[in-house]
Structure 1
Amino acid sequence: MLRMKDRRRAQSGTTLVELLVSLVIASLALALVVGTLSSGLLDSTIAKRNTAAQASLQYEMEAISASVFDSSGAPYSDCFATEDPTSPTSAGGYQAACPNGPFTLRADVGWQWLASSPGVVQVWTISIMSWPSSAAIGSSVSVYKINR
Structure 2
Amino acid sequence: MRGQVLGVDTRTGDGIVAGEDGRRYGFRPADWAARGEPAVGMEVDFEIENNRALSIFPVPGTVPARPHGYGTEPLHNDRNKLVAALLAFFIGVFGVHRFYLGRIGTGVLMLVLTCTLVGVLVTGPWALIDMIRYLIMSDREFAARYARD
TM-score tier after normalising by the smaller chain length: under 0.3
TM-score normalised per structure 1: 0.25
Between Structure 1 and Structure 2, which shows a larger proportion of strand residues?
1
Larger radius of gyration: 1
More relative contact order, 1 or 2 (CA 8 Å, 6+ apart): 2
